[in-house]
Amino acid sequence: MKPRSSSSAQTATHPQTATHPQTANDSQTTAHAVGNQTVEKRRRGLVRLGLAWLAMMQVMMFALPGYLRHEAGGQDSLEVLDWAIFLMNWASLTLTIPVILYSAWPIWLGCARAWSTRRITMDVPVGISMLAAFIPSVMATFKGSGEVYFDSITMFVAFLLTARYVEQRASLVDAGALRQTSVLAAGVPSGLRVWAPANVASFSLPLMTQANRVATLFVLIQLAVAAVIGAVWWVIEPTQAWPVLVSLLVMSCPCALSLAAPVSLAALQMNLALGEPSTNEREALLARTLRITRQNLYGALAWHVLTMPLAAMGWVTPWLAALSMLLSSIAVLLNAWRLYRPRRVGLSRAVGVLRQKQHLQA
Amino acid sequence: MEILYLLLPLSLAIVALIGAMLWWAVFSGQYDDAEQAGLSILHDDDHTIS
């Protein structure tokens, strides 16, 4: 609030000319600070996300006849249904192609990066499971018989991008909060200025490394497990092998795991930047962050360990696996949200603006 | 059921249209700052001419 009140001191001398442009200035400076590139990146992320959701909802409608087929009655209705399914599959394919090519583009880039650096990342199992679901679906569409997973693919991409978008936003807020700290520090005599950048980095780096290591190990184990279980199903019941493999691969996506550390740290920095915690409060906040990050990390891991056997038994359909992935990510986000107190921040901002108005009127 | 030949392309066209609208809305900056518009009433210049 400090920079605002200092500029309001200026505006008080020329109220007519300065009050209005000030709002514009305010948003302009933030826009400049965030940078055009980041804005562009965020917009592109949002469009990718929105299009994936749009396609997902439509493809889910197209997928309905396919689910009804198991309960179809006589031969006549089955024929009509199969014809409808054939058409719907083509429509679904039309919508899934842009999702795979445009919405999922960051995932393919991530796979290429993982390939060139020889380091396994979250994008690898995601890419593999997308292909594992997409290629047989395309073949089934051309052939006119067999299972298609277009709904699972679009759901998977939409949910994954949602989790990533939130993560990306959190880290942007993060960066914004840090910048605001330095702006605030100019006028606020708190220890924050000296403390914030250096200590948060030294606090968050080991936590991030730990989280990354857990996630990498996890991905490797899950890929191996999925391959083994798929092979076992192939021997016992070949028709079920592919859906089980797709479900396992979808579930192997460590989205919740990869969210665990970044969102907690973003919430922490937001708190540090906008509130002005005393040393004790700060220590308590760090301890809570550590605890919540661990909860997120191990909670997500436990969720995977619990749901994997169900998928291995063939009880989890691919779309259910995608839903499970979204739910665990949301749980992680909500848990981290406990650290962050948006209400207080929003209020203090509003109060700051009100004070400034009163100051102007006085 | 021949109506599907009309309805399916129609639904694809509508999805494409909505997608294009979303594209336009995002890239014209409609979602860039969701907060400022709400706060703008507080920034209002309500000085009376004295």
In angstroms, the Cα distances linking A43 to A47, A166, A192 are: 6, 13, 32
Contact check, Cβ <8 Å, B22/A51: yes
CB A267 within 8 A of CB A345: no
CB A244 within 8 A of CB A311: yes
Complete DSSP assignment for A248-280? HHHHT--HHHHHHHHHHHHHHHHHHHHS---HH
Compute the Cα dihedral for A166, A170, A175, A181 and give only its sign: positive
Contact check, Cβ <8 Å, B32/A51: no
Q: How far apart are CA A338 and CA A274, in angstroms?
A: 16
Read off the pLDDT of residues A292-308 as tens digits, 9 standing for 90 and up: 888 888 888 888 888 88
In eight-state DSSP terms, residue A102 is I
Q: Is the ipTM of this complex over 0.85?
A: no
> Is the predicted pLDDT of residue A142 greater than 70, yes or no?
yes
Both structure tokens of A248: 């396992």
Q: How far is B20 from chain A (nearest CA, A)?
A: 9
Angle at A7 between CA A6 and CA A8, to 5 degrees: 90
CB A152 within 8 A of CB A130: no
Q: How far apart are CA A315 and CA A321, in angstroms?
A: 10
What percent of chain A lies above the pLDDT cut of 70? Answer: 71
Question: Best of B26, B30, B47 to disrupt the A interface by mutation (most A CBs within 10 Å)?
Answer: B26
Residues on chain B touching A46 (C-beta within 8 angstroms): 26, 31
How high is the pLDDT of residue A41?
86
Both structure tokens of A19: 């009050």
Q: How far is A181 from chain B (nearest CA, A)?
A: 19
Q: How far apart are CA A55 and CA B26, in angstroms?
A: 17
Read off the pLDDT of residues A79-105 as tens digits, 9 standing for 90 and up: 888 888 999 999 999 999 999 999 999
CB A163 within 8 A of CB A329: yes
Nearest beta carbon to residue B42 from set A30, A46, A357: A357
Read off the pLDDT of residues A187-204 as tens digits, 9 standing for 90 and up: 433 334 434 444 566 666
CB A130 within 8 A of CB A158: no
Chain B's closest residue to A22, CA to CA, is B43
Within 13 Å and on the Cβ side, how many CA atoms surround A212? 10
Q: How far is A15 from chain B (nearest CA, A)?
A: 8
Read off the pLDDT of residues A149-163 as tens digits, 9 standing for 90 and up: 898 889 889 888 887
- Mean pLDDT throughout A173-180? 55
Return the number of other C-beta atoms located less than 10 Å from residue A274's C-beta: 20
How high is the pLDDT of residue A177?
53
* Terminal Cα distance for chain B, rounded: 74
User: Which has more confidence, A309 or A122?
Assistant: A309
How high is the pLDDT of residue A20?
43
Nearest beta carbon to residue B8 from set A30, A87, A357: A87
Q: How many residues does chain B have?
A: 50
Contact check, Cβ <8 Å, B11/A91: yes
How high is the pLDDT of residue A293?
83
How high is the pLDDT of residue A352?
64
Q: Dihedral (C-alpha) A177, A182, A188, A189: value to the nearest 10 degrees?
A: 120
User: Which has more confidence, A332 or A1?
Assistant: A332
* pTM score, whole prediction: 0.73
How high is the pLDDT of residue A185?
42
Q: Does B12 touch chain A (CB under 8 A)?
A: yes
Both structure tokens of A157: 């991409």
Q: How far is A43 from chain B (nearest CA, A)?
A: 6
Q: How far apart are CA A350 and CA B5, in angstroms?
A: 55
CB A136 within 8 A of CB A242: yes
Q: Packing angle between helix A105-117 and helix A150-185, nearest 10 degrees?
A: 80
Chain A's closest residue to B34, CA to CA, is A27
Residues on chain A touching B37 (C-beta within 8 angstroms): none
How high is the pLDDT of residue A178?
53
